[in-house]
Amino acid sequence: MQAQRQTWVIVWGLALAGAVVGARQAPPPGRGAADPRIGIEAFEALRARGQAEVIDVRVAASFQAGHIPGAVNVQLDEVGRRAPELHARANGRVIVFYCSCPEEHASLAAVRLLDAHGVPGARALAGGYPAWIARHGGRGGYLSSAACAAMYARNASSDSTVITPRMR
């Protein structure tokens, strides 16, 4: 009887542990299993067909130093407040955010923030502005990964609705 009880305790313990691990790996609400990132090739194809609304979430000085042609600058801390405007501006196109980070810190936060404000389906440009520069040349105006992570942490603490993005 004691051995059977220990077996059930172990089984339930493993089941509970599996549920906790599974919950940690589950995608954010509203995202399903899809990764919100979009690769540079898929992004360029959307842009070429006029199906992308490109939003730069970097600070104004970085945007002025260089940006993807046709992009609009809406800093990360403005995304939630401007969600209805961004949704209307997109007019059925896919909203693609980008930032200075190769790891998409701010652009992933913008995707999740927009989703939290009722506008699902936005994407984050994989590799951010550095990926664009690497492919097309142009002026830098972007931060190192460490500087970007620090800036994101400061911005995220100012808006409690920003959901921390997954780190690669």
Assess if residue 86 is contained within a domain.
Answer: yes
Q: Tens digit of pLDDT for each residue in 45-79?
A: 999 999 999 999 999 999 998 899 999 999 999 99
Q: Which of 108, 88, 92, 93 is nearest to 38 (CA)?
A: 108
Count: domains in the chain: 1
Assess if residue 7 is contained within a domain.
Answer: no
Domain hosting 116: range is 30-156
Mean pLDDT, the chain, rounded, equals: 75
- Global pTM? 0.67
Q: Which of 136, 130, 108 is nearest to 47 (CA)?
A: 136
Per-residue pLDDT at 127: 94
Assess if residue 142 is contained within a domain.
Answer: yes
Tokens 């730069």, residue located: 56
Residue 87: how many other CB atoms lie within 10 Å: 19
Q: Tens digit of pLDDT for each residue in 15-41?
A: 433 433 333 333 343 444 478 999 999
Using the predicted structure, report yes or no on whether residue 82 has a pLDDT greater than 90.
yes
Assess if residue 127 is contained within a domain.
Answer: yes
* CATH code at position 96: 3.40.250.10
Per-residue pLDDT at 139: 58
Distance CA 22, CA 14 (A): 12
Using the predicted structure, report yes or no on whether residue 109 has a pLDDT greater than 90.
yes
